[in-house]
Structure 1
Amino acid sequence: MSQDTLARRITLLQATAINSTEMVGIGPFVVLNGVAAVMQGPWFLYAWLAGAFLSFVDAMIWSELGATFPEAGGSYNFLKAGFGEKGGKLMSFLFTWQVLILAPLVMASAAIGFSQYAAYLLPKMTPFTAGLVQRLISGSVVILVVILLYRKIETIGKISVAMWIGVLGTMAWVIGCGVAHGNFLEPIRHMNDNLVVNKAFAGALGYASVKTIYCYLGYYNVCHLGSEIKKPEVNIPRSMFISIGIIALLYFCMNVSVASVLPLGRIQASDYVVSEFTEYLLGTTAGIIVTVLILWVAFASVFSATLGYSRVPYAAAKDGAFFKVFARVHPTKHFPHVSLLFLGALGFIFSMLFKMKDVITAILAMRILVQFIAQGVGLLMLHRRKGRNFFKWHMPLFPLPVILAIAIWIAIFYSTGVQFMEAGLVATASGVVVYVAKQYYQRSLAQKTL
């Protein structure tokens, strides 16, 4: 094996674990209270179902593209193929450009969430001291993740499975506590109480879905590792749909479990709602134990997200479309170490600077236009040029799922708010400027060598 070649060593089980650990992460534990506060009623469960529905529909797009283009970089390759010779170069560059900001934001969100829940275990401090300690914790999480990822992919696959077991165990405990309490089905029986489907409900559902969809992000992580997946035309789609099915069920049951024990007002007001839920049922020691498990889950999501995103700048650089330094592969461990270290460094900085609520919305607003919407459009264009038989996996009812996914993503982008929509557009525009400047520089350099 040459030192710039990535090996296909990740199995279906490991791919599903990698997806699932990024999907769960700290998200459902830190946004549960916010979703309940936005929806203002027992129907807040619909926001979690909405996130699952969009993930399932969008995964059909990822499955067709991932099975057909199983290469490192995921969306970089999909956008390049979908938009053709000229448009593909611009769109794939824009995605890679955004990953340099987006990936560290994703890492930072999980690390910040980790530090937020860690505060449950710490003694009471002044606001200034508490803020400083949480920043030190979040920065340390990013550093430790980079250290763990600095090794061969087959070892990482085994680590991912171990982390996944911790994720499933944590969720099972929380759900089991609610079931044992005896009122588990009550929130489901009453989720339509006083529900009025009108413009206000639609607006609240859209805003709350920004938070729940953030919790589902990661179902496509294996696509970024496409060149390292065994039997990718089969395992990439399967791993995504299995992950979404498992996580959607766990999310819904966890929310039902908490709502069957704690009143809605307490859920809305708590920063550590799952820890308080466990403490209420089983005592302080149990609250501490479940908090430690939640921290395990948060750490696992940083690990998984960083693993997938580190392959994107590598793929673009190897293709000659990005800075060459990112194409370097470790001479003995065979992974893109420069890309990993760069994203890790930015993730560390972002984890020290930003707040959780801003990071979550920024993550969605930045990626919707260039990644999710553009990817759907690119798939439609590719179908028109190549035909359906070109693809190694076929979605049912094509093109309806693609059109539906694009429409929902547009609605979610609007729900992020003017400030974050503008930020997403500015990030995209800045990428266009850099791309044009890069093309001009390359043409000038080529003319000088003639």
Structure 2
Amino acid sequence: MSEEKHHLQRSLGLIDATSIVAGSMIGSGIFVVTTFMARDLGSAAWILVTWLITGLLTMSAALSYGELAGMMPNAGGQYVYIQRAYGRLVSFLYGWTVFTVIQTGVIAAVAVTFANYAAVFFPILENKIFTVGKTYAFTNSQVLAMFSIVLLTYINTKGVKNGKVIQLVFTSAKLIALFALIIFGLYIGFHTDTFSTNFNNMWEAKKTVFDEATQTVTVTKLTGIAIVGAIGATIINSLFSSDAWNNVTFIAAEIKDPKKNIPRSLFLGTLIVTIIYILANIAYLALLPLNGNPNGTIVESGIMFANQNRVGAAAANVIMGNIGVFVMAGLIMVSTFGCNSGLILSGGRLFYAMAKDSLFFKKAGELNHHDVPEKALWLQCIWACLLCISGKYGDLLTYATFASLLFYILTIYGIFILRKKEPDAERPYKAFGYPLIPILYLVVTAGICLTLLIYDTLNTGLGLVIVALGIPVYYWFMNKKE
């Protein structure tokens, strides 16, 4: 069938768009990363402050994106915004990084997390199929991870309504389950003295390092600028857990009344998730001691040394006993499956937009008879599955986090550029608090990037290398076009 007979259908309402924002954000991070932050900061107050900063940064960025979404309610979202402000090369580098690492890497990581928690119910998933040397093993879990990606991709090729239903059902389920965990956690936790103990000397920060070889714990007190540096370095954990909110902009061409509904969904989705994340961390601090013994029981290990960093599972165990492990595993399976549904649905639209600009494989710019970019979805699926096989998706995500922050900075600064270049352009929604809030976001995020350059130079440098590798690929596509 010819392309002319098909076009992206506006069939997603405000609730659907909001569920994509919230559902794409909530994966497995909230159940794990507080453990890393506890070791980096060692202070209940500073942990909550870091989550609050994360939420405010995310919401301020979302509110700023609303202006761009209203101006350009087209498939591709952030890719389109960057192109209008900076040109084709910079927008391609963003799309290149999203395809090679950001979107597909997150899909792979979330799928593997889904499979790993499925192994709680089906231990056979942990069995190795084959090994290469002493460092690589291909397991049944990786097979299940790839199967889940293929399944969700197939469902999404059958029309946006199928993806919408899955997203709404799974997002609703995990929101209800998370609120239940928070309510019961706070109720039980506040009947003990754990919370008050955690907030004794609550501003006293310290970095804790456990050496497994010698079984020794080293504690270093943090003061002054060292605290700022520690927050700047560890906030990458909470920012990663709060990422992917911008995915709803990729599917702008399929949202009803996008000039109103995209800004509203960005605000509502990020607000809901910010509240949930802060309450979840308060529940953790009410149920588990912040400090702990690396070789202790679930409670004795505390948040800092939760078994396999699974602070969510430890909290569930306090609430429900041993069955809590299975309940939490089920919750994370629901959470990650729903998260990937949104990521897969959205990502294909970005690559479709790139293909329409002749900056991606031509076939990815075609729609099937369900009016969805089927080939773009399958290309995304194949690369994500290869990352699952490689086992290197985690490293790649670390490298790309810095680059992702840089593209957020570029996009927000693009508001200022377009206000100057196109002062008379239609802006149904204007960035909240402009110019103060966008400037504040730029300053704080630039500070985080600078801190990462200082404290994690290798990974940030490799992130920039991944972006730079897209330059010759861009010129290859341009020459191919000619």
Fold shared per TM-score above 0.5: yes
Q: Which residue is 1:170 aligned to?
A: 177
- Per-residue CA deviation, residues 159-187 of structure 1 (Å, 9 max, x unaligned), is 21111111112211210221220418648
Q: Please point out which of 435, 445, 458 is paired with 1:409.
A: 445
Code of the aligned partner of 1:156 = G
Amino acid at match of 1:57: S
CA contact (8 A) 2:250 2:346 kept: yes
Residue deviations 1:94-119, cap 9 Å, x none? 12222221221110121232234334
Aligned pairs for 1:211-222 (under 5 A) are: 211-222=237-248
Q: 1: distance between equivalents of 2:351 and 2:319? A: 47
Does the CA-based 8 Å contact 1:79-1:374 persist in structure 2?
yes
C-alpha distance 180-249 of structure 1, shift in aligned 2 (>3 A): same
For the pair 1:243 / 2:301, whether they are aligned, the reply is no
Which residue identity lines up with residue 13 of structure 1 in the other structure? I
**1:194-214 Cα deviation digits (max 9, x unpaired):** 257621111111122101011
Other-structure match for 1:44: 47
Shift in alpha-carbon separation, 1:206–1:163, aligned structure 2, 3 A: same
Query: Against the structure 1 CA distance between its residues 131 and 51, is the aligned structure 2 distance closer, same or farther, given a 3 Å change threshold?
Result: farther
CA offsets, 1:18-69, max 9 Å, x none? Answer: 1111111112112221222221221212221121011011112211111110
Q: How does 1:140-219 map to 2 (within 5 A)?
A: 140-183=147-190, 186=196, 190=200, 192-194=202-204, 198-219=224-245
1:448 maps to none
Q: Residues 98 and 4 (structure 1 numbering): CA distance in 2 closer, same or farther, change over 3 Å?
A: farther
CA 2–188 in structure 1, closer or farther in 2 if over 3 Å, else same: farther
1:133 Cα deviation (Å)?
3.6
1:224 to 237, 250, 257: 250
The amino acid across from 1:340 in the alignment is: L
| SS state at 1:390 partner | coil
Deviation for aligned residue 1:402: 2.3
Shift of 1:359: 4.7
Unaligned runs of 5+ in 2: 130-136, 206-221, 293-301
Structure 2 CA distance for partners of 1:191 and 1:401, relative to 1, 3 Å: farther
Q: Which has the higher strand share?
A: 2
Does 2:284 align with 1:284?
A: no
User: Retained in 1: the 8 A contact 2:126–2:140?
Assistant: no
TM norm structure 1: 0.90
In structure 1, the partner of 2:371 is 334
Is the CA contact 1:8–1:229 (under 8 Å) kept in the aligned structure 2? yes
Cα shift at 1:228: 0.5
Pair 1:306–1:191, CA change in 2 (3 A): farther
Paired residue for 1:268, among 282, 304, 320?
Answer: 304
Q: What TM-score do you get using the length of structure 2 for normalisation? A: 0.84
Structure 1 pair 53–339 and aligned structure 2 pair: CA distance change class (3 A): same
User: Which residue, out of 35, 38, 49, partners 2:37?
Assistant: 35
| TM-aligned CA distance change 1:165 to 1:154, over 3 Å | same
- Counterpart CA distance in 1 for 2:16 and 2:160 is 11
Distance in 2 (CA, whole Å) between partners of 1:315 and 1:125 is 38
Give the length in aligned residue pairs: 437
Shift of residue 415 of structure 1? 4.2
Q: Could you tell me how far 1:260 is from its partner in structure 2?
A: 0.8
Residue correspondence of structure 1 range 7-406 to structure 2 within 5 A? 7-42=9-44, 43-83=46-86, 88-101=87-100, 102-123=102-123, 132-183=139-190, 186=196, 190=200, 192-194=202-204, 198-264=224-290, 265=292, 266-270=302-306, 271=308, 272-330=310-368, 332-354=369-391, 358-369=395-406, 371-387=407-423, 390-406=426-442
Aligned AA (1:245)? L
- Using the alignment, how far apart are the partners of 2:79 and 2:279 within structure 1? 35
SS in 1 for 2:266: helix
CA change 1:145–1:362 in 2 (3 A) is farther
Contact 2:351-2:360 within 8 A present in 1 as well: yes
Shift of 1:234: 0.9
Matching residue of 2:132: none
Secondary structure of residue in 2 paired with 1:268: coil
After TM superposition, give the deviation of residue 154 of structure 1 in Å.
Answer: 2.0
Q: Distance in 2 between matches of 1:253 and 1:223?
A: 27
CA contact (8 A) 2:125 2:139 kept: no
The answer to whether the 8 Å contact 1:60/1:395 transfers is: yes
Residues 388 and 254 of structure 1, relative CA distance in 2, 3 Å threshold: farther
Q: Distance in 1 between matches of 2:264 and 2:5?
A: 30
Distance between the aligned counterparts of 1:425 and 1:182, measured in 2?
44
* Alpha-carbon distance between aligned partners in 2 of 1:4 and 1:96, rounded to the nearest angstrom: 24
The range that moved more, 255-264 or 391-400, is: 391-400
* Larger deviation, residues 20-29 vs 123-132: 123-132
Q: How far apart, in 2, do the equivalents of 1:14 and 1:176 lie?
A: 26
> How far did 1:90 drift?
1.2
Q: Which amino acid aligns with 1:300?
A: G
Q: Could you tell me whether the CA contact under 8 Å between 2:24 and 2:338 is conserved in 1? A: yes
Question: Aligned partner of 1:33: which letter?
Answer: T
Deviation at 1:427, TM superposition (A): 1.9
1:160 partner amino acid = Q
Write the distance in 2 (CA, Å) between the matches of 1:17 and 1:176: 22
Q: CA deviation at 1:358?
A: 2.9
Q: 1:119 to 1:414 in 2, by over 3 A?
A: farther
Summarize the Cα distance change of 1:255–1:198 in structure 2 as closer, same or farther, 3 Å threshold: same
Secondary structure of 1:269's partner? coil
Aligned partner letter, 1:157 = K
Are the structure 2 counterparts of residues 387 and 148 from structure 1 closer, same or farther at C-alpha, using a change threshold of 3 Å? same
